[in-house]
């Protein structure tokens, strides 16, 4: 794909960042953990729609079931019933390394000197090509997939160390990039977060057991009580002896770098991070956007559903009434996550329907969460014009995205990022809006700076928290 697609009528590839995955882990004596894990995966469906899977252990054997598509498609009637045990992990996937293929569905089950190990991974290992060659040479590892998650799996299954925290710390010294992990051995569930804390992971109490998940909304659906977020570099081991936690000493020497897009877009609005509800934080972003880029308008609408909270905040701060002017067809799905271009194009055209009775003759502030390529936005503006909108003032709750992400978000190449190649005035002209305003980087960071602080804002600034290979691509392992 190239920049010429920006000007092709009807062309509408994904125009939002696409998350990597969601992970879940359950250790609950006396429960059918596979079924409960599937419940958690349903809550994390927004993080990936390519494939889903569950691995469970009854204290001896690890059983795995994976399938392509949505969680409801991957698990048919009785699938999770056949995976028994009170220890389980689960995964729902959007690929950032490796194609959308059944062989890449997770959890992955491998075996090494540390015994059988099932792995669910959210993130991206930027040195995976080199690590795969080292694993072949050192431990004669054989690879059946084209995903960096299999590299992680074999590395940990063979890592030196007398106990799992020590093996994970070996992995933290070796792997570069982003990773939140849930691991399953025959007798334990293990959770780990990379030393920078780029991808989220949280811990909850579940009756007599424990649960871990990418977001607190999954804990809510599993009826687990949220306890806390895992610290960067933390390893939590849950087994029949209880729960044990250790933190990698090297994490203290590094700055925290949680992906700021978790706050803007990825996390569900009912999830909590740093003690703050995402819905409330996004309302604050909308209010800041109104202060930075006011508009003389009659109504504020959001692009549903991801921008609704920010639109409410813009309306509250500006005093302009909020209205629902676009209806989203919820059965189309989140088209930006769908991996195949043809399905994305078809989905965007079917995704929104305006309400002329609400919009006709109105000057609109239209709030969106982000613009990546600038391909969907002109289509939405055109829909609103045809519905009778008199003016359209576009406001965006993310700063201009000028740099690709190599740490677990499939965003686009630099050549495809509209803000890396066009000025704001040129983007406004391309979208067809009467005015365009982005939230500033400073305004965003001032709002999201939580109790722990420290965010990765590389997609806006180019300041990556770790050195990256600028030529790294999603299919690097397949070519290797």
Structure tokens at 1: 């794909």
**For 142-152, how does the pLDDT look when each residue is reduced to its tens digit (9 = 90+)?**
999 888 999 99
CATH of the domain at 149: 3.60.20.10
Which of residues 255, 288, 319 is at a domain's end? 255
Q: Which domain holds residue 341?
A: 271-459
Residues across the chain: 480
208 shares its domain with 294: no
pLDDT bin (cut points 50, 70, 90) of residue 15 is: low
Residue 15 lies in a domain: no
Residue with the bigger pLDDT between 81 and 398: it is 398
Res. 225: pLDDT tops 60: yes
Which of residues 255, 289, 320 is at a domain's end? 255
Query: What own/partner pairs with CB < 8 Å and gap ≥ 24 does 432-436 have?
Result: 432/378, 432/381, 432/382, 432/385, 432/392, 433/366, 433/377, 433/381, 433/392, 433/393, 433/394, 434/391, 434/392, 434/393, 435/293, 435/295, 435/393, 435/394, 436/393, 436/394, 436/395, 436/396
Q: Could you say which DSSP state residue 398 is in?
A: S
243 shares its domain with 307: no
Res. 453: pLDDT tops 50: yes
Res. 1: pLDDT tops 90: no
pLDDT bin (cut points 50, 70, 90) of residue 324 is: very high
Average pLDDT of the segment spanning 281-309: 96
Walk across the sheet containing 188-193 and list its strands: 108-112, 115-125, 177-185, 188-193, 234-239, 242-247
HSE, CB side, 13 Å, CA atoms: give it for residue 45.
15
Residue with the bigger pLDDT between 476 and 49: it is 49
**For 121-174, how does the pLDDT look when each residue is reduced to its tens digit (9 = 90+)?**
999 999 999 999 999 999 999 999 888 999 999 999 999 999 999 999 999 999
CATH of the domain at 431: 3.40.50.2020
Q: Could you say which DSSP state residue 474 is in?
A: T
60 shares its domain with 175: yes
Distance of CA 148 to the CA centre of its chain: 16
Mean pLDDT score across all residues of the chain: 88
Question: At which residue do the structure tokens 């607190």 appear?
Answer: 216
Residue 426 is predicted with a pLDDT of: 98
Residue 146 is predicted with a pLDDT of: 84
Q: Helix, strand or coil for residue 250?
A: helix
307 shares its domain with 206: no
247 shares its domain with 288: no
Cite the active site residues: 21
34 shares its domain with 141: yes
Main-chain dihedrals φ then ψ at residue 91, nearest 5 degrees: -155, 140
214 shares its domain with 87: yes
Average pLDDT of the segment spanning 303-308: 92
Average pLDDT of the segment spanning 80-106: 80
**For 404-443, how does the pLDDT look when each residue is reduced to its tens digit (9 = 90+)?**
988 878 777 889 999 999 999 999 999 999 999 999 999 9
51 shares its domain with 150: yes
Residue 13 is predicted with a pLDDT of: 40
**For 366-394, how does the pLDDT look when each residue is reduced to its tens digit (9 = 90+)?**
999 999 999 889 989 999 999 999 999 99
pLDDT above 90 as % of the chain: 72
């Amino acid at each position: 794909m190239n920049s010429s697609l920006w000007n092709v009528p009807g062309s509408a590839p994904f125009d939002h960042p696409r998350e990597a995955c969601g992970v879940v882990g359950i250790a609950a004596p006396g429960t059918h953990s596979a079924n409960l894990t599937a419940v958690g995966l349903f809550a994390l469906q927004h993080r990936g729609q390519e494939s889903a899977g569950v691995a469970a252990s009854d204290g001896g054997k690890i059983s795995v079931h994976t399938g392509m598509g949505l969680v409801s498609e991957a698990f048919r009637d009785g699938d999770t019933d056949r995976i028994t045990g009170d220890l389980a992990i689960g995964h729902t996937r959007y690929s950032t390394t490796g194609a959308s293929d059944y062989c890449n569905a997770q959890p992955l089950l491998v075996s090494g000197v540390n015994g059988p190990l099932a792995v669910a991974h959210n993130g991206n290992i930027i040195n995976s090509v080199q690590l795969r060659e080292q694993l072949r040479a050192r431990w004669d590892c054989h690879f059946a997939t084209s995903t960096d998650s299999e590299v992680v799996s074999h590395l940990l299954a063979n890592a030196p160390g007398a106990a799992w925290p020590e093996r994970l710390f070996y992995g933290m010294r070796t792997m570069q990039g982003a990773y939140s992990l849930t691991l399953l051995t025959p007798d334990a569930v293990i959770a780990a977060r990379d030393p920078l804390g780029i991808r989220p992971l949280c811990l909850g109490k579940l009756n007599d057991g424990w649960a871990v998940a990418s977001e607190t909304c999954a804990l809510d659906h599993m009826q687990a009580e949220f306890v806390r977020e895992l610290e960067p570099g933390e390893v939590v081991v849950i087994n029949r002896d209880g729960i044990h936690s250790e933190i990698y000493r090297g994490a203290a020497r590094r700055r925290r770098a949680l992906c700021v897009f978790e706050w803007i877009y990825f996390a569900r609005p009912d999830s909590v991070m740093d003690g703050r509800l995402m819905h409330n934080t996004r309302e604050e972003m909308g209010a800041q956007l109104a202060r930075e880029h006011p508009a003389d308008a009659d109504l504020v609408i959001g692009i549903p559903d991801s921008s609704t909270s920010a639109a409410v905040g813009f309306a509250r701060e500006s005093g302009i009434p909020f209205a629902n002017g676009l209806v989203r067809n919820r059965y189309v799905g989140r088209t930006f996550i769908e991996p195949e271009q043809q399905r994305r194009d078809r989905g965007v055209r079917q995704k929104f329907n305006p309400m002329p009775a609400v919009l006709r003759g109105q000057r609109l502030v239209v709030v969106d969460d982000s613009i990546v390529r600038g391909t969907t936005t002109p289509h939405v503006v055109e829909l609103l014009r045809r519905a009778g909108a008199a003016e359209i003032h576009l406001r965006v709750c993310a700063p201009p995205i000028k740099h690709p992400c190599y740490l677990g978000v499939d965003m686009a190449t630099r050549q495809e990022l509209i803000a890396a190649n066009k000025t704001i005035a040129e983007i406004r002209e391309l979208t067809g809006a009467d005015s365009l305003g982005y939230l500033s980087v400073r305004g965003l960071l001032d709002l999201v700076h939580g109790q722990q602080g420290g965010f990765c804002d590389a997609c806006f600034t180019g300041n990556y928290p770790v050195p990256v290979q600028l030529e790294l691509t999603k299919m690097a392992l397949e070519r290797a």
